[in-house]
Structure 1
């Protein structure tokens, strides 16, 4: 019997080993010879990707790098036509790592620094599955953003003396500053103002950069005359010069599945740090968009959001990250509304992308579930969920690069939907669950986090430290940004908010702002957001507004602690702790207010339902 038992064990072990995925590891040095390729690792990447395309897709392949600096140049990069959500649709684009139609690949930098030269996308994953990126940093030798350090201020002569960093790579034409990149140039016209301690300056949102004249006094040193900041700035303040252009993200995920990024840091990108669209299941663990430590002379990181997820599904997990110095949010999760242009019978519509930075990529597929919204009131039309039978582009051969589509649905459309009104179409299939946990968001412009998905969102154990605007925003807009959609299950818990909202931006009515864009709120009959719980958080406040909510049915604010400091002077127009417009079923329970809670002064309620508000057990 023992022999028979041993035979079964051996047979089971052999069968199990046969089912294990084959794995192999290869060094990038096999493709890269520093001296032969003149320090240009882009040439070796081409060889690497050619090699990966020869591998069996069922075999897990790991590419390892030596722990050193690698430089990548545009002249040897891949050339691709990509349409990237919430970016400038300028093509073609240069790409260093064009990972396409690959499966089961890990790129392990082992602590390497990847430095890019020129305007390019460092990493693009398209039609990939089970790709892992880990243990490297992304930076650019010459970033497009620059910063001015204020050296001297002469109010009497209306002059400011300043130095520029990084130095060089500029010229002065007709007393106007021109920033030079590697293969491009631009005129900066706006800026972000930072204190010397790398926090954005109090009550200084987007600051125009429009001096009457710029004079070069010495290399990297200027005299700025006739700039409106002469009355407000002091030596030591920094102004990060920029435009609102977003040509390229740092990492681009497109129509990919099961993507993992571990211990990857983006120090700079001329767009989002990471942009994912039409992708399923994404995990960020230790993904950072941050400076190179306390001694980094830079004050800025990305030109826009740190991470941005457009029309994704499955689960997005973002944890253990550091996000700082961005020109926009740490995370934004949403879909895209298509505007109804024309009705063709009972089951067919012509629709189009509307925002100038969101078009050209796949919007939906046959079988996807959709719903319809009346834009002016942001109301669902008849709570009608339909499915796509067929979808085709009207202005291109395929969806690639298209703005307009014809969609045929399986069921009859509600009779009120037509191009004569203002209606949007939302894809419900391409909506994700989100877990955003154990991250630090600090010293960034605009907002901290944005969530717009009907699936469950958990935002917990994060530190929001001096976000210049709102820390958390739940939005939804079928009028300007065209970013879907209504939240139905959001848990915001165990977070710490420190001095958020030191300046005003769009949608920044409180530290937590539930702010769908609704032009005709008065006539709205159906609430937009629902199912929101805010619990066990700590708010360290210098000003008043903690929570603003609009068009929300079901909101609980419980067991939170609100304390106050004198770090800044209160300035916000919203002088209420709680400001509610068009809400129902709001519960404020078991919270501790350092200065107490006076409902008559601290809570403002407008246009609300019959069961608008309950208060219990607050101290």
Structure 2
């Protein structure tokens, strides 16, 4: 009997063992790649991914890279047609790693540097599940952004002498500076001004670059004459020269489930550092968009946002990251409004993507929940929640590359919804919860963190250090950017804000700006945002505006500390610590103000009953 029992136990153990998903480990070296060789690693990425496509989905594959530097060139790279939210929709795109229709893959760089050449998407993840990227950095050999290091200023001659960095890869044609990539050329039209300490220069936002002439004094040393910035400039200042073109993010994620990115750094990308669209559950842990350390001679990272999440759902977690020196925000989470172009019948409308950098990708699926908004007042249409029963592209064979759709709903549409007015449609299913925690955001243009989702948002334990504009923005806009939507539960706590708002940008009315774009605010009857708590934060301020809120019902500002300093001269048009327009149920309580609090001067309320703001700080 005992022997039979042991035999049965052994068979059972074998059975249990056989149910486990086998794990496979591959090395890029198995496919011929050698670190530190400068040979074209795109060839070996092609071989690797061909092998991954052969692996059964229930196997987990870990791909390792012997630590070193790997170079990826357009030649032998993947060629793809991608439509990427909030980027320029030019095609085709060259791709270093096209991870498509794959499951259970980990790419472990083991501390390697991946250097890309020309204009590429380093990593794309499409229609995949449980993909992990970790332990590597992304950079480009020749960036499309460059900087001028000012060596001399001669105001009498209206001339700057400056060194271009990184050096080389430029030419001058008819007095005009042109950057030369490996297969492209760009004439810069704008610049960002940085101090020597890598902070953006006080009050110098979005400068045009239009000098009368550029000449070369010696290799990489340029004479720049007739530029309106000469009289405002000092030796040691850096001007990061750029276009507004954004063709390629560093990492592109589309229609994926359960994506994990750990200890990955993007040093440069000619677009976002990371762009995710129509994907569910994304975790960034130690994902950075940053310089190569304090001694890095570059002053810039990405051409646009560090991270951007468009029409995602599930949970987005971004923690332990460093985001610096980018030309836009650290994080932006939103959906995309479609504009109603035709009411077909009581169940069917036609609608289109409106922004020139946001179209071509899937907008909804059958069963998705939606709601409608009147654009001028940014008010929800009564009883407009509905369910998509079908959605088809009407300008393309499929949603791929489409701008306009015909959408049918389960319930009758409210009678007022038609092309006669301005109405947008918002997909509520593809909206995520967000946790943004323990990150550092510093020395970047525009804004720090943007959240536009009705699901729970927690923004905590972050350092916002010298963001050039607003540190945190809650927006919503069905008129220009067409980025949804209304926030319903936002917790902003235990953050440290250091001298944000050293220049004016769009939507930057205070350090924390709750600013939906509402052309007709006076006639609005319903509030847009709600359920916002700002507590236990520290604000180090040189100027007045701490909090601005528009069209908000339910906001608590409590137990915060406000400390004053003299790093810069106050300049902002908003002279009030708290400025509210069209608000209700606002509470300011239990805060500590180093220079005191005077409700008559420090609080301004417009288009609202004074009783809508409750003050216990006096």
- TM-score band, normalised by the shorter chain? over 0.9
Aligned to 2:210: 210
The reply on whether 1:487 has 2:481 as its aligned counterpart is no
Cα distance in 2, alignment partners of residues 455 and 175 from structure 1: 52
Q: 1:15 to 1:601 in 2, by over 3 A?
A: farther
Equivalent pair of 1:328/1:445 in contact (CA under 8 Å)? yes
- Kindly state the Cα deviation for residue 521 of structure 1 after the two structures are TM-superposed: 0.1
Aligned to 1:417: 417
Aligned to 1:229: 229
Cα distance in 2, alignment partners of residues 533 and 36 from structure 1: 50
Aligned to 1:559: 559
The 5 A counterparts of 1:70-85 are 70-85=70-85
Cα distance in 1, alignment partners of residues 481 and 104 from structure 2: 36
Instruction: Give the secondary structure class of the aligned counterpart of 1:52.
Output: helix
The 5 A counterparts of 1:318-397 are 318-397=318-397
Aligned to 1:452: 452
- Kindly state the Cα deviation for residue 454 of structure 1 after the two structures are TM-superposed: 0.3
Instruction: Give the secondary structure class of the aligned counterpart of 1:531.
Output: strand
Cα distance in 2, alignment partners of residues 476 and 425 from structure 1: 13
Aligned to 1:435: 435
- Kindly state the Cα deviation for residue 208 of structure 1 after the two structures are TM-superposed: 1.0
- Kindly state the Cα deviation for residue 5 of structure 1 after the two structures are TM-superposed: 9.5
- Kindly state the Cα deviation for residue 33 of structure 1 after the two structures are TM-superposed: 4.1
Q: 1:36 to 1:528 in 2, by over 3 A?
A: closer
Cα distance in 2, alignment partners of residues 17 and 563 from structure 1: 61
- Kindly state the Cα deviation for residue 2 of structure 1 after the two structures are TM-superposed: 9.8
- Kindly state the Cα deviation for residue 379 of structure 1 after the two structures are TM-superposed: 0.1
Partner deviation per Cα, 1:3-34 (whole Å, 9 max, x = no partner) = 99988976775554333321111111011244
The reply on whether 1:87 has 2:91 as its aligned counterpart is no
Cα distance in 1, alignment partners of residues 342 and 525 from structure 2: 25
Partner deviation per Cα, 1:158-199 (whole Å, 9 max, x = no partner) = 111111000000000000000111110111010000000000
Partner deviation per Cα, 1:555-585 (whole Å, 9 max, x = no partner) = 0000000000001100000000000000000
The 5 A counterparts of 1:247-258 are 247-258=247-258
Aligned to 1:43: 43
Equivalent pair of 1:34/1:40 in contact (CA under 8 Å)? no
Cα distance in 2, alignment partners of residues 513 and 595 from structure 1: 22
Instruction: Give the secondary structure class of the aligned counterpart of 1:341.
Output: strand
Equivalent pair of 2:35/2:69 in contact (CA under 8 Å)? no
The 5 A counterparts of 1:583-602 are 583-602=583-602
Cα distance in 2, alignment partners of residues 116 and 614 from structure 1: 55
Instruction: Provide structure 2 residue ranges, at least 5 long, that are not aligned to the other structure.
Output: none
Partner deviation per Cα, 1:360-391 (whole Å, 9 max, x = no partner) = 00000010000000000000000421000100
Q: TM-score, normalised by structure 1?
A: 0.98
Equivalent pair of 1:584/1:610 in contact (CA under 8 Å)? no
Aligned to 1:263: 263
The 5 A counterparts of 1:393-408 are 393-408=393-408
Q: 1:406 to 1:610 in 2, by over 3 A?
A: farther
Q: 1:2 to 1:322 in 2, by over 3 A?
A: farther
Aligned to 1:501: 501
The reply on whether 1:120 has 2:115 as its aligned counterpart is no
Kindly report the root-mean-square deviation, in angstroms, between the aligned alpha carbons of the 2 structures.
Answer: 1.7
Aligned to 1:181: 181
The 5 A counterparts of 1:137-216 are 137-216=137-216
- Kindly state the Cα deviation for residue 611 of structure 1 after the two structures are TM-superposed: 4.6
Equivalent pair of 2:276/2:308 in contact (CA under 8 Å)? yes
Aligned to 1:20: 20
Cα distance in 2, alignment partners of residues 227 and 85 from structure 1: 35
Cα distance in 1, alignment partners of residues 291 and 503 from structure 2: 22
Cα distance in 2, alignment partners of residues 182 and 459 from structure 1: 41
Cα distance in 2, alignment partners of residues 595 and 36 from structure 1: 57
- Kindly state the Cα deviation for residue 211 of structure 1 after the two structures are TM-superposed: 0.5
Cα distance in 2, alignment partners of residues 312 and 594 from structure 1: 41
Cα distance in 2, alignment partners of residues 411 and 33 from structure 1: 57
Instruction: Provide structure 1 residue ranges, at least 5 long, that are not aligned to the other structure.
Output: none
- Kindly state the Cα deviation for residue 38 of structure 1 after the two structures are TM-superposed: 6.9
Cα distance in 1, alignment partners of residues 231 and 223 from structure 2: 15
Q: TM-score, normalised by structure 2?
A: 0.98
